[in-house]
Structure 1
Amino acid sequence: MSVQANATPLPDRVRIRRALLSVSDKTGLVEFSKGLAALGVELVSTGGTSKTLAEAGLAVRDVSELTGFPEIMDGRVKTLHPGVHGGLLGIRGDAAHRQAMDEHGIAGIDLLVVNLYPFEETRASGASRETIVENIDIGGPAMIRAGAKNHGYVAVVVDPADYGEVLAGLEANGGETDIALRRTLAGRAFARTAAYDAAVSGWFAESLGETTPKRIAIAGELAEALRYGENPHQSAGFYRTGESRSGVATARQLQGKALSYNNINDTDAAFELVGEFDPARTAAVAIIKHANPCGVAEGGDLVAAYKAALACDPVSAFGGIVALNRRLDARTAEAIVKVFTEVIIAPEADDEAIAIVAAKKNLRLLITGGLPDPRAAGRFVKSVAGGLLVQSRDNGVVDDLDLKVVTKRAPSAAELSDLRFAFRVAKHVKSNTIVYAKGGATVGIGAGQMSRVDSARIAARKAEDAAKAAGADKPATIGSVVASDAFFPFADGLLSAVEAGATAVIQPGGSMRDDEVIAAADEHGLAMVLTGMRHFRH
């Protein structure tokens, strides 16, 4: 059943006479409370918040004075009482509400300051299940929702970052809030409780092993309002979900102009790709353009890897994103800044390298403190009209797969190393994908084509263009290996790779015509291994 709307007009201005403060995060609390006290606001508080205020020399009433009931059950029950919720929900302009408040001795609460138990932080810390459950806040969300619903009379503050805005408004308006501020704060309050509930429900689904729960809630916190989206006519914002994964969302930007929507998307693609390469084993560099790699290489050091990656497609690398799997050093920085680059992202950077990049004032430098784990579980969400597609992150790693040789000739050790390299890269190229590689570097990449044959031909043509640019007499695909992100449905795609000069192939297998494809490989002396795992990326 629906509830009849109350016809009482809302006041524009409300004087703040009484504030209830109950916070887990004490950041800025004392300064804010002193500002309230200076405006003549009565402070009411709970537990640790009350103690903090009293120790700062502020006059503060305990919430039990409003409720006439002590905190019980280790603080689980302290604000769930009509003395609190009546003070938050009572409509001051409604005679019946005022009468009820007077009859039951309920004092109005004009300002509610609450931030919640640190559930998200506790979960991320790896705490026990019991500790996580104890950090599910009950009284806090109940008060926030009550006060925000009654925003015609109550201002609700859920974030210490808003203290300054609220105090400035009160000081400017003689201790009163206006309806515009109260509505804004109410919207923020409901967004906070929604995000909190999303975190709790997500944890339950994860702990229960539910990969497709009946309902799913997804929340994020605005990191930055962006100038526009993929195109200037689209609005956009960048939100953090709280995932601890190293990457663009958790990085520190040391310099350069603000990141755009496309910068963020491309930088994420670049860093996820370079995370496939263990820095203890090899240095690796990925150069990305429009979310696709135009060059990837590994080497003895970052300079060698960068130069090899750049050689794959030096034209497309102009204005690209460069991702590194090791600390950015001065020599590598000097090499990168010779080519116009939008973003450099790395786990760390030397002071000298930072100074070199600083000479390019618009070049963004992001430091992450670590690499993304390619094997880590996670969730990938994509919007469609009227719904969401949700899947687990593609955390398949070629080094964990049992590669099956299906041709008469087995790959040599050098070919096998390049095959693994090429398949790591293919995982991060838009489907249909063909990747040629030689000597631990890509030498031709075909991405996002409707036909796998076209991808093979485009990759070969890219290699020919790179050879001409380098003054080489033949493309580097001669004697290379080739990776396909999914099976060859016909032999024609494989034959295109043969024409380009590939000598070995890695692909998932699973086509109805696998035998035909294998026979074609044998006919041309190719070695072929099957992974049993595909890497579509749309």
Structure 2
Amino acid sequence: MKRALISVYSKNNKLFQFANFLYKKGYQIISTGGTYQFLIKNGLSNVIEVSNVTSFPEILDGRVKTIHPNIYGGILANRLIEKHVKSIHTHNIKLIDIVLVNFYPFFEKMHTKKYHINSIVEFIDIGGPSMLRAAAKNYLHVTAIIDENDYELVQNEIEHNGFTSLKMRKKLAGKVFNFTSSYDSAISQYFLMDEKFPIYLHSSYKKKMILRYGENPHQKASYYINTIQNGSMCNFNQLHGKQLSFNNLRDMDIAWKIVSQFSEPACCIVKHSTPCGVALGNNIIEAFQKTYYADTISSFGGIMAVNIPITKELAKEINHIFLEVIISQNYEEDVLNILKIKKNIRIININNPISDKLEYIQIDGGILVQESDYFFPYDGNYKIVTKKKFNNKEIESLFFSQKIVKYVKSNAIVVSKGTQTLGISGGQTNRIWAARQAIERALEKSKTGLVLVSDAFFPFRDVVDEAARSGGICAILQPGGSIRDEESIKACNDYGIAMAFTGKRHFKH
């Protein structure tokens, strides 16, 4: 007689229907305490409890119940090796053909603040992963099931063929090791949470959605979420619009990080991983208007984020322009009804704050890991290096701009007036080109009262010269640290421009 071992944490009707199917197909069902009671209660009477197979009761509050040769011998025996077959017969061990297990919910419980680590450890499954790994290792003969979505696939094969195919068993074995590695990785990261750079880098991500394509239509893509961190992009809801794309998600991440830096009403529009307009306002409609009119051309088809709820007035204005995505923390029903007039616009509700303190960049054959620049906010440290000092309005504008320049590709220059960006340029191979472009764009909107912020030092005085030629730049903020700093300082003094060094670079490659 064929045998199936079923031991699950999550018990539902789907499980019972599958167990009942196996029973009707002649499988003897073996089960553990809670699962055994569930199956019996629902009418599957001929279930054998694991303790009857092991001749040993569950002990240590269920920590030990399946770890026994009568279980593992039945799972691991290679039926093509005569020595294995003889051994299990000698010890009166019966073969096990199907192992169906799901684990204690460690992923879910570790996010619940009420649990202390001493309680969380009780949700670290030992027997479940061990049995499944054993079954997956012996996939030539044993069907290992971790995902309830596979019940139907297994059932169909048994229904039509009387057994599962080798191809199916191999695929299911792969899914087992895929899950157990992620499960162990999550546990490892939980215990090493205070260690930023452990010896071995683990990743534990779960697929959230299949994307239409990657950066380009010929590239397939999917989106995975971190099982450890509850970051903003981990837990969001799409309330309306067509399917999100690979590029949408990248731009959403940047837009939300930018507005999340501010306590005042803030708006940001991102295009191709670069902010094209950012502004603060006395209210969200003012912040939006300043953001959009800072660069109406680049804003076309952009991703917009706001850090406070959208009003009906703003919703009506949004409907007059073309945006791909709108991001906010919550939406009133009447606001949603206005926004949904546009069929395809993607409306995103963000539930979690920014949490990822590390950033990962994959390169061929390796991965780079660094602390996130988001968690290094302005700390008030700067040094005026020119004769002319900043006034209060310039200080506000400069440090507003510094929060933006962190998210512009290097070489990065941001030119602002007050708390509104007017010229943003980055991704250039030299700083003077970026400066010229940013200044030129800013001058289209205003000729006076402009400030300039750079993500890195000026290697030459040419940026200061360009700023002076504009006639509108009155203050500059940059990290300093060039061997030619004195030349830039002298140029500022000659032109009557105030400049300060922060000592902190903000490259974004």
TM-score, normalising length: structure 1: 0.88
Deviations 1:355-405 (A, max 9, x none): 222222221111112432xxx552211111211111122234444342333
1:481 match: 451
Instruction: Report matched runs for 1:265-304 at 5 Å.
Output: 265-278=250-263, 282-304=264-286
Unpaired segments ≥5 residues, structure 1: 1-15, 468-474
- Asked if 1 retains the 8 angstrom alpha-carbon contact of 2:88 and 2:94, the reply is yes
Q: Distance in 1 between matches of 2:353 and 2:285?
A: 19
Displaced runs of 4+ in structure 1, greater than 4 A? none
Q: Distance in 2 between matches of 1:351 and 1:244?
A: 30
1:498 to 468, 471, 475: 468
Instruction: Report matched runs for 1:259-408 at 5 Å.
Output: 259-278=244-263, 282-372=264-354, 376=355, 378-408=357-387
- Asked if 2 retains the 8 angstrom alpha-carbon contact of 1:398 and 1:423, the reply is no
Q: Distance in 2 between matches of 1:31 and 1:484?
A: 64
1:258 match: 243
2:89 equivalent to 1:106 = no
Q: Against the structure 1 CA distance between its residues 121 and 499, is the aligned structure 2 distance closer, same or farther, given a 3 Å change threshold? A: farther
Q: Distance in 1 between matches of 2:379 and 2:488?
A: 25
2:222 equivalent to 1:240 = no
Deviations 1:218-254 (A, max 9, x none): 2322222223221223222211122444433321111
2:39 equivalent to 1:53 = yes
1:154 match: 142
- Asked if 2 retains the 8 angstrom alpha-carbon contact of 1:491 and 1:520, the reply is yes
1:75 to 47, 53, 62: 62
Deviations 1:190-238 (A, max 9, x none): 100111122122233334x3x3322212232222222322122322221
- Asked if 2 retains the 8 angstrom alpha-carbon contact of 1:246 and 1:368, the reply is no
- Asked if 1 retains the 8 angstrom alpha-carbon contact of 2:279 and 2:419, the reply is yes
Q: Distance in 2 between matches of 1:457 and 1:264?
A: 30
Q: Against the structure 1 CA distance between its residues 164 and 285, is the aligned structure 2 distance closer, same or farther, given a 3 Å change threshold? A: farther
Q: CA deviation at 1:477?
A: 5.4
Q: CA deviation at 1:97?
A: 2.2
2:498 match: 527
2:119 equivalent to 1:137 = no
User: SS at the partner of 1:187?
Assistant: helix
User: SS at the partner of 1:489?
Assistant: coil
Q: Against the structure 1 CA distance between its residues 70 and 452, is the aligned structure 2 distance closer, same or farther, given a 3 Å change threshold? A: same
2:429 equivalent to 1:447 = no
Q: Counterpart amino acid of 2:123?
A: N
Matched length: 505
- Asked if 2 retains the 8 angstrom alpha-carbon contact of 1:435 and 1:482, the reply is yes
1:231 match: 216
Q: Distance in 1 between matches of 2:23 and 2:465?
A: 80
How much identity, in percent, do the aligned residues show? 40
Q: Against the structure 1 CA distance between its residues 219 and 505, is the aligned structure 2 distance closer, same or farther, given a 3 Å change threshold? A: same
Q: Against the structure 1 CA distance between its residues 134 and 532, is the aligned structure 2 distance closer, same or farther, given a 3 Å change threshold? A: farther
1:198 to 163, 185, 188: 185
Q: Against the structure 1 CA distance between its residues 487 and 132, is the aligned structure 2 distance closer, same or farther, given a 3 Å change threshold? A: farther
2:13 equivalent to 1:43 = no
User: SS at the partner of 1:177?
Assistant: coil
Q: Counterpart amino acid of 1:56?
A: N
Q: Against the structure 1 CA distance between its residues 142 and 515, is the aligned structure 2 distance closer, same or farther, given a 3 Å change threshold? A: same
User: SS at the partner of 2:87?
Assistant: helix
Q: Against the structure 1 CA distance between its residues 364 and 166, is the aligned structure 2 distance closer, same or farther, given a 3 Å change threshold? A: farther
Q: Against the structure 1 CA distance between its residues 479 and 383, is the aligned structure 2 distance closer, same or farther, given a 3 Å change threshold? A: same
Q: Distance in 1 between matches of 2:230 and 2:414?
A: 27
User: SS at the partner of 1:124?
Assistant: coil
1:460 to 417, 420, 439: 439
- Asked if 1 retains the 8 angstrom alpha-carbon contact of 2:107 and 2:228, the reply is no
1:426 to 405, 408, 412: 405
Deviations 1:316-356 (A, max 9, x none): 11111111111223222222222221111211112122222
Q: Against the structure 1 CA distance between its residues 94 and 309, is the aligned structure 2 distance closer, same or farther, given a 3 Å change threshold? A: same
User: SS at the partner of 1:152?
Assistant: coil
- Asked if 1 retains the 8 angstrom alpha-carbon contact of 2:212 and 2:244, the reply is no
User: SS at the partner of 2:296?
Assistant: coil
Greater mean deviation of Cα atoms: 120-129 or 295-304? 120-129
1:163 match: 151
- Asked if 1 retains the 8 angstrom alpha-carbon contact of 2:415 and 2:450, the reply is yes
Q: Against the structure 1 CA distance between its residues 104 and 422, is the aligned structure 2 distance closer, same or farther, given a 3 Å change threshold? A: same
Q: Counterpart amino acid of 1:221?
A: K
Q: CA deviation at 1:284?
A: 0.9
Deviations 1:66-100 (A, max 9, x none): 21222223322222211111111112343332222
Q: Distance in 2 between matches of 1:169 and 1:393?
A: 49
- Asked if 1 retains the 8 angstrom alpha-carbon contact of 2:7 and 2:32, the reply is yes
Q: Against the structure 1 CA distance between its residues 132 and 520, is the aligned structure 2 distance closer, same or farther, given a 3 Å change threshold? A: farther
- Asked if 1 retains the 8 angstrom alpha-carbon contact of 2:190 and 2:228, the reply is no
Q: Distance in 2 between matches of 1:181 and 1:534?
A: 53
Q: Against the structure 1 CA distance between its residues 166 and 324, is the aligned structure 2 distance closer, same or farther, given a 3 Å change threshold? A: farther
2:393 to 414, 421, 426: 414
- Asked if 2 retains the 8 angstrom alpha-carbon contact of 1:347 and 1:371, the reply is no
User: SS at the partner of 1:481?
Assistant: strand
1:515 match: 486
Q: Counterpart amino acid of 1:265?
A: R
Deviations 1:83-126 (A, max 9, x none): 11111111234333222222212222222121222233333334
1:20 match: 5
Greater mean deviation of Cα atoms: 397-406 or 379-388? 397-406
User: SS at the partner of 2:481?
Assistant: coil
Q: CA deviation at 1:497?
A: 2.6
User: SS at the partner of 1:25?
Assistant: coil
Greater mean deviation of Cα atoms: 121-130 or 182-191? 121-130
Alignment root-mean-square deviation, CA: 2.2
Q: Counterpart amino acid of 2:218?
A: H
1:218 match: 203
Q: Against the structure 1 CA distance between its residues 439 and 221, is the aligned structure 2 distance closer, same or farther, given a 3 Å change threshold? A: same
Q: CA deviation at 1:40?
A: 4.1
Q: CA deviation at 1:425?
A: 0.6
